[in-house]
Amino acid sequence: MPSSVHPTLNRRHFLKGAAALFALPTLESFGGPTPPAGGPRNFVAIGTFLGWHQNAFYPKQEGKDYEMPATLAPLSGHRDEFTIFSGLDHRAPNGHGAWSNFMCGNSLRTHSLDQMIADQIGNETRFHSIQLTAGSGERNVSKNMSYTRQGLALPMIQRPSVLYKKLFVSEQDRERTEYILRSGRSSLDAVVEDAKRLQSALPHADRNKLNEYFDSVRAVEKRMGQQLETIDEIVTVPDYKLPSYDPITPNLQIEAESIMYDLMTLALDSGATRVLSMFLDGLGQVFSIDGRALGSGYHGLSHHGNDPSMIRDLVSIETAHIHCLAGFLTQLREKKNAEGKSLLDDTVVLVGTGMGDASRHSNRNLPTLVAGGGFDHKGHVAIDSKKKDAPLLGDLYITLQQKLGLETDRFSNATRNMNEIFS
User: Could you give all domains of the chain from N- to C-terminal order, each with its CATH number?
Assistant: 41-172+247-422 (3.40.720)
Written as one letter, the residue type at 414 is A
Look at residues 104, 75, 89, 144 and name the one whose alpha carbon lies nearest to residue 357.
Answer: 89
Beta bridge partners of 63: 380
Of residues 393 and 197, which shows the higher confidence score?
Answer: 393
Return mean pLDDT, the chain: 81
- Overall average pLDDT of the 112-121 stretch: 94
> Residue 108's pLDDT is what?
79
pLDDT tens per residue across span 33-80: 455 567 899 999 999 999 999 999 999 999 999 999 999 999 999 999
Range 342-345 contact pairs with CB under 8 angstroms and sequence separation of 24 or more: 343/42, 343/265, 343/268, 343/269, 344/81, 344/371, 344/372, 345/40, 345/372, 345/373, 345/374
Predicted TM-score (pTM) above 0.85: no
Q: Residue 309 above 90 pLDDT?
A: yes
With bands split at pLDDT 50, 70 and 90, how would you rate the model's confidence at 83?
very high
CA distances from 117 to 128, 155, 160, 405 (A): 10, 18, 24, 9
Query: What count of other Cβ atoms lies within 10 Å of the Cβ of residue 409?
Result: 11
Q: Can you spell out the DSSP letters for 43-110?
A: EEEEEETT---HHHHS-SS-BSS-PPPTTTGGGGGGGGGEEEEES----PPPSGGGTTHHHHTTSTTS
For the cut 50, the answer to whether the pLDDT of residue 5 exceeds it is: no
Q: Give the model's pLDDT for residue 4.
A: 43
Per-residue pLDDT tens over the stretch 6-35: 444 444 466 665 455 666 666 666 554 455
Euclidean distance between CA atoms 184 and 325, whole angstroms: 26
Q: How confident is the model at residue 313 (pLDDT cuts 50, 70, 90)?
A: very high
Task: Give residue-wise pLDDT tens across range 241-273.
Answer: 333 334 355 678 888 898 899 889 989 988 889
Angle of helix 393-403 versus helix 113-121 axis, rounded to 10: 10
pLDDT at 207: 78
Could you read off the pLDDT of 372-382 as tens digits, one per residue?
999 999 999 99
